[in-house]
Amino acid sequence: MGSDPVITPAALAVLATAVGVEGPANPRQSEPLHRATDSGPVGMLHPGRGAERGYSLEGEYGLYVGINGNSLDVRWITEAPRPGVLRVWADGELLADVATQAGTAHAATVDLTRFGGDRVLLEYGRPGQLYQTAIRTVDPWNNPVEFPAPDELYVVGDLHGQLDRFTELLSGAGLIDENLSWAGGQATLALLGDMMDRGPDVTPLLWFLYRLEEEAEQAGGSVLPILGNHELLVFANDLRYVESREILVSDIHGLGYAEMFEPRSTVLGRWIASLPPLVRVGDLLLAHGGAGPEHAAAGLVALRDSMAVFLREPLMRTWFDTDAFTAERALRGLDDAAILRRWRTMFGETSVFWTRELVTEWARRHETSAGGAVPTEASYGSAPLRGTLLGFGAEALIVAHTPVEMPQIIHNGRVAALGLAHAASAMLRLVPGERDQTGRAGWKAELVRIGHPPRPIGILGAALPR
């Protein structure tokens, strides 16, 4: 960058104020929803609702699984001091049977050297009450970024650890059964990021999605999560939005919260780091915050590959620790241009994770138009939006991140806004419409809410003139 000033973490934190309501800053100084039975493991322990019972830390609510080469580091919690039990199975063969001393925090390391498969089943807990979690031991990489149009597409915005609300939403739509297993057949469920932060049940929500993704694939359907800005904040050790119950779990395990999701050495961290920042489903582009022509120029694959590298770099954990950042940067030999590229990709105000422009632009025009009517000066709403859609070969863009009261179809059917203020309380159901003479059909959009019948709200990606 020649004579340009060095981009330091302190300067980057100042730049982040342009991002919007929230943004990176110095972190705090701190380090299958099923009922269990006595007869054996069946998944996560249901915590009850709200303050009636408080929150459970057993099962997947308190599960940590690290993976390092051929060994698993498994840690779990019992709510009373009891002996712990861990069994590891693969294809019906018992690989390990471990008993731990009485306590509330339990840990065991399992050697998988003689195991040649790519999946193991963990049974863990305490005598008389065990839980099951299936683990994929292969590091996910190069996830697809383009998918054919399904006959039925559900899209939900920010989840923010709202496990109970989200499962109620999915159950009402028939996408999961009474055991909270996939029941959506060949439908596709897309999740627009921000699974983490703010809510009390981030860890069990992530394990639930980790399982549901595989169940949907086995049934011919799809669960397609993408990255949001709050996943990046946790990876960068910015813990301002982490709920106290989540911090408690990491404290019990003797780990910093970001360590619970380390992207190179934990099962959940590797899975999250493999998620793409953008995907295209049929002729729909899906993003957390939005996208612009510059992202179309880079392309879906290049964006995915860049993020996969950036998230796994040791530098990722040091962005807001000046000394560690300086040392890591020097060790890696990263110049100003390399640092600025990472910043702009992950934390810049126009990045796909942080931009709010599409929704705020629509809101500004909506507020200033006569009688509240939205102007219709262009079928694409704006020149940048037109360039973005044409560049990605898409007819419409679906985003979350920017709060709205209910899902909205805006920009004359070219954008759907799903960043609900009440996370996980509603989603869109989209089915392809009939094609016109141009070959474009649009998608019939229905609003799906907890406790309400689906309601049509418009056409997304309608065959409007270019």
Model pLDDT for residues 321-343, shown as the tens digit of each residue:
999 999 999 999 999 999 999 99
* Cβ contact 258:110 at 8 Å: no
Q: What is the pLDDT of residue 3?
A: 31
Q: What is the residue extent of each domain of the chain?
A: 50-136, 146-460
Q: Is 200 a residue whose pLDDT tops 70? A: yes
Identity of residue 114: R
Q: What is the pLDDT of residue 394?
A: 96
**Residue (of 339, 246, 296) closest to 12 by Cα position:** 339
Ramachandran angles phi, psi of 233, nearest 5°: -60, -45
pLDDT tens for each residue of 245-287: 999 999 999 999 999 999 999 999 999 999 999 999 999 999 9
- CATH number for domain 50-136, candidates 2.60.40.3080, 3.90.79.10, 2.60.40.650, 3.40.50.2300: 2.60.40.3080
pLDDT tens for each residue of 172-195: 999 999 999 999 999 999 999 999
pLDDT tens for each residue of 365-393: 765 444 444 444 344 456 789 999 999 99
pLDDT tens for each residue of 40-91: 333 333 333 333 345 689 999 999 999 998 899 999 999 999 999 999 999 9
Q: Is 345 a residue whose pLDDT tops 50? A: yes
CATH T-level topology, domain 146-460: Purple Acid Phosphatase; chain A, domain 2 (3.60.21)
- Using pLDDT thresholds of 50, 70 and 90, give the confidence band for residue 139: confident
Q: Is 230 a residue whose pLDDT tops 70? A: yes
- Using pLDDT thresholds of 50, 70 and 90, give the confidence band for residue 364: confident
Q: DSSP string covering 129-178, please?
A: EEEEEEEE-SPP-S---EEPPPSSEEEE---TT-HHHHHHHHHHTTSB-T
Mean pLDDT, the chain, as a whole number? 85
CB atoms within 10 A of CB 53: 10
Q: Is 305 a residue whose pLDDT tops 50? A: yes
Q: What is the pLDDT of residue 234?
A: 98
Q: What is the pLDDT of residue 62?
A: 97
Q: Is 309 a residue whose pLDDT tops 80? A: yes
> Between vectors from CA 404 to CA 295 and to CA 366, what angle results, nearest 5°?
85
The beta-strand segments (E) located in 174-258 are: 188-191, 222-225
* DSSP code for 445: E
Q: Is 135 a residue whose pLDDT tops 80? A: yes
Q: DSSP string covering 242-290, please?
A: --HHHHHHHHHTT--GGGGG-TTTBHHHHHHHTS-SEEEETTEEEESS-
Q: Is 449 a residue whose pLDDT tops 50? A: yes
pLDDT tens for each residue of 3-39: 322 333 333 333 333 223 344 443 333 223 322 323 3
Do 50-136 and 146-460 agree at the fold level?
Answer: no
